[in-house]
Amino acid sequence: MTAPTKPPYGGTADSASEHAPGEPLHSPVIDWFDEHARDLPWRRPEAGAWGVMVSEFMLQQTPVNRVLPVYEQWLARWPRPADLAAEAPGEAVRAWGRLGYPRRALRLHGAAVAITERHGGDVPADHAQLLALPGIGEYTAAAVASFAYGQRHAVLDTNVRRVFARAVSGTQYPPNATTAAERRLARALLPEDASTAARWAAASMELGALVCTAKNESCERCPIAAQCAWRLAGKPAHDGPPRRGQTYAGTDRQVRGRLLAVLREAHGAVPQAALDRVWHEPVQRARALDGLVADGLVEPLPGGLYRLPMT
């Protein structure tokens, strides 16, 4: 991602964007970003495309403050994709720590291996090549192409979707899952010029993260408050399907997290008994362990031993 310094953004000088539907939003949001963007390590030039990719994997389901220390350790240990590719996948799972959703660690490791084998260790700039990497979906390919390489792509994360839902569509929340209509809208809102589009992607995301938050949005600090459809309509209450909650306590996810914590700290194989201690309910515990094995996050060994995956 670009650094939060003044970008080469020239306002509305580009005649091709004169009639773009999103144009009234571009300058206010980008100017706000220039002033208020957080100074995050993956936005600094030295992060490079690999730093951007690592951050995007980590940030997908984990807040910035929890990602920061793990990101710094990760990049210090594996400054290039080839460094990570040379390690066992279990080391990626171990270093992932408590970020949650640890399959992301395996996918990032798989992407590093493919980058090393197919692209000489350099994160490709081409969107189709990014998308062809294992573990990289539409969002991550667009984010890396945009933030690392300054290309023109719609980058739709939950923050951007919420900003567009409110400011443009006039609804409090976007649908639970990204729709084709949202993708069309995001593409229609993109500035024509690539570097401005990349800046817009980062800026609209930051606006959702800092100002147009899911709860208690700060419209008084919002650079597009005067144009926001939802605000101008009097903020009608959400009337779509119930929003998904984020329950954790008592779920299989919690059990999986506890089982993995034992294996991360063990630095070797552990007996079944060590895993049995972390959760009282045997059926749920077995289901969680089976799930970890099926996902490739845990490797069962003869003799009832378990370890993080080595291959």
- Supply the DSSP string of 94-116, one letter for each residue: HHHTTSS-THHHHHHHHHHHHHH
CB of 173 to ligand SF4, least distance (A): 11
CB of 174 to ligand SF4, least distance (A): 12
206: annotated active-site residue: no
Which CB atom, from 144 or from 211, has the smaller least distance to ligand SF4?
211
The backbone torsions φ and ψ at residue 307, rounded to the nearest 5 degrees and listed phi first, read -150, 170
CB of 83 to ligand SF4, least distance (A): 41
Cβ-based neighbour number of residue 147 at 10 Å: 27
Q: Spot the catalytic one: 56, 206, 217, 299.
A: 56
Which CB atom, from 9 or from 230, has the smaller least distance to ligand SF4?
230
CB of 259 closer than 8 Å to CB of 278: yes
Which CB atom, from 94 or from 166, has the smaller least distance to ligand SF4?
166
Closest CA to 108 of 61, 157, 63, 155: 61
Residues 84-103 that bind ligand SF4 (CB under 6 A): none
- Supply the DSSP string of 9-67, one letter for each residue: --TT--GGGTT-TTHHHHHHHHHHHHHH----GGGSGGGHHHHHHHHHHHHTSS-HHHH
Residues 204-263 that bind ligand SF4 (CB under 6 A): 211-212, 217-219, 222, 224-225, 228, 230-231
Which CB atom, from 109 or from 166, has the smaller least distance to ligand SF4?
166
The backbone torsions φ and ψ at residue 122, rounded to the nearest 5 degrees and listed phi first, read -105, 130
Cβ-based neighbour number of residue 155 at 10 Å: 25
Tell me which of 127, 166, 256, 285 binds ligand SF4, using CB under 6 A. Answer: 166
167 lines the binding site for ligand SF4 (CB under 6 A) = yes
Question: Which residues here bind ligand SF4, judged by CB under 6 A?
Answer: 163, 166-167, 211-212, 217-219, 222, 224-225, 228, 230-231
Question: Looking at the annotation, which residues are catalytic?
Answer: 56
